[in-house]
Homo-oligomer: A and B are copies of this chain.
Amino acid sequence: MTSNPSPLSPDLIQRFAAIVGPAHALTDAALIEPFVHEPRDRFTGHTNLVLRPGSRDEVSAIMRLASDTRMAVVPQGGNTGLVGGQQPLSANEVILSLSRLNHILDVDPVGRTMVVEAGVVLSRIQDEAERHGCLFPLSLGSEGSCQIGGNLSSNAGGIGVLAYGNARELCLGLEAVLPSGEVFHGLKRLRKDNRGYDLKDLLIGSEGTLAIITAAVLKLYPAPAARELAYVGVDSPEKALRLFQDAQKRAAGELTAFELLPRIGMEFSLKHGVGLRDPLSSPHPWYVLIEITSGHSADDASSTLEEILGHALEEDLIRDAVIAQSLSDAAMFRRIREDMSWAQKPEGGSIKHDIAVPVARVPEFLRRADPAVLEAIPGARIVAFGHLGDGNIHYNISQPVGADREAYLARWEEINAIVHGIVRDMGGTFSAEHGIGQLKREELARTAGHVEIDLMKRIKAVFDPYNILNPGKVI
């Protein structure tokens, strides 16, 4: 299925605009600008119309009209996606922004649920949970601007997945508008419901190609009593993995983050981040960021963390470690990690990967991928960082110092092929958390089994027979 939208005539623009009101139908290029650029500047879209509906019923009316006229619609949340899923492929595709559906509809701290519209920004949900003595554990670098509808559409991951799961695991119910304009009513606040096929999980992660999520019921957790964070220097990914296994045994569900960071990523963060310093006194080849969360007390969290680190020192698993002594220490530790993504930008071109392999095989993956990449591009700077506890590594490769950016980026697919070949051989995935979007659509079609692709295509046709909803994405 490819995108082949009808032209967006002035008359049609008028009819769409009438649904949301002229103030919320943007046709001016300057106003449209922020909707067609995404953070990495990799996918610049074009559109002649951005609609900003204010309610589910307006979303539904837009889709009815789109369905009647066979116009393509691209749903967009906070526009922070990394695979181009939220960008139109043609100027005739209408962007439907969910950002005005930004109401928190209900918070139930006893039943630990929150009902939100799709356009609510993630950090607002985190804050609202906290105000009610609860925790919403989804946590991403872009949490200050990404929206929950986008998080669910892309089944977002992030740092909290280790203990709490992806966005999928944090959602109890959904409301969504189908391409036909019909509404799927599934705002259930139930912990358990086995009535028929799991349509909710089919919509989650479908990247806005099956339906437009308009509201969701989120799962809250009791607010933890305390969190403790340590910054740890280690020799190698092998030792980091052994540290992970030991920490998991000692802390079980209290181990709420375990991130692997390479020295070069640390250097990029320190060089380009403002107000950051190396938490440890001397450099180490690799680092691990460990978070322990206790439901009981700060003492409990500290003693668990100290037990883990003490044992690791004895066993020679780690070289050095420091525990955050203040909120500002903790914030800085987190920022070194979070800044690692964008701190690659000033270093020139970066060829990105979002891979996962079985957790125990991450060191093996790195041992195989690094020499293969360096053979292809001598001098390439490999910034392999991320969620070791999930087996998910952002295996990003910055260009050699002084190389030509464009010439380097032209080798994107060649390098992907090398890295993903190793991943495939290890039973891994080339898209652990960022999704497919437009970036990885061909790769999905090429590498997934024909049975799987065929099922996906036929499911797409069930929901979207005219292929008007986010065409050319995913499948």
Contacts and interface: CB of A to CB of B under 8 A. Distances in A.
A336 interface: no
Contact of A189 (B189, B206, B427, B433): B427
A184 B452 CA distance: 7
Interface in A227-285: 241, 245, 248-254
A191 interface: yes
Interface in A288-331: 294-296, 304
A186 interface: yes
B359 A194 contact: no
Interface string A432-468: 1111100010001000110110011011101100000
B188 A427 contact: yes
B432 A194 contact: yes
Interface residues of A, number: 90
Contacts of A149: none
A130 B254 CA distance: 21
Nearest to A169: B169
Contacts of A194: 154-155, 157, 205, 429, 431-436
B184 A455 contact: yes
Contacts of A112: 359
A16 interface: no
Centre residue among A182, A206, A294, A296 by max chain B CB count within 10 A: A296
A222 B249 contact: yes
A176 to B, nearest CB: 10
A389 to B, nearest CB: 8
B435 A190 contact: no
A127 B387 CA distance: 30
Contact of A195 (B161, B357, B448): B448
Interface stretch (A66-74, A196-204, A410-418): A196-204
A430 interface: yes
B252 A224 contact: yes
Contact of A432 (B154, B193, B435, B440): B193
B221 A252 contact: yes
A183 interface: yes
Given A111-B359, A196-B474, 18 more contacts: A108-B360, A110-B359, A165-B169, A178-B451, A183-B451, A189-B358, A191-B359, A192-B391, A192-B432, A193-B432, A194-B429, A194-B434, A195-B436, A196-B452, A197-B460, A198-B201, A198-B205, A201-B201
Contacts of A186: 452
B185 A449 contact: yes
A76 interface: no
A236 to B, nearest CB: 16
A222 B456 contact: no
A399 interface: no
A191 B391 contact: yes
Nearest to A441: B196
A336 to B, nearest CB: 23
Interface in A151-166: 154-155, 157, 161, 163, 165-166
A360 B462 contact: no
A315 to B, nearest CB: 16
A197 B192 contact: no
B430 A195 contact: yes
Contacts of A431: 193-195
19 contacts: A108-B360, A110-B241, A111-B361, A183-B451, A185-B451, A189-B427, A190-B429, A192-B391, A193-B356, A194-B205, A194-B432, A194-B435, A195-B431, A196-B456, A197-B205, A197-B206, A197-B459, A198-B204, A198-B205
B444 A195 contact: yes
Contacts of A296: 250, 304
Centre residue among A202, A294, A448, A463 by max chain B CB count within 10 A: A202
Nearest to A199: B455
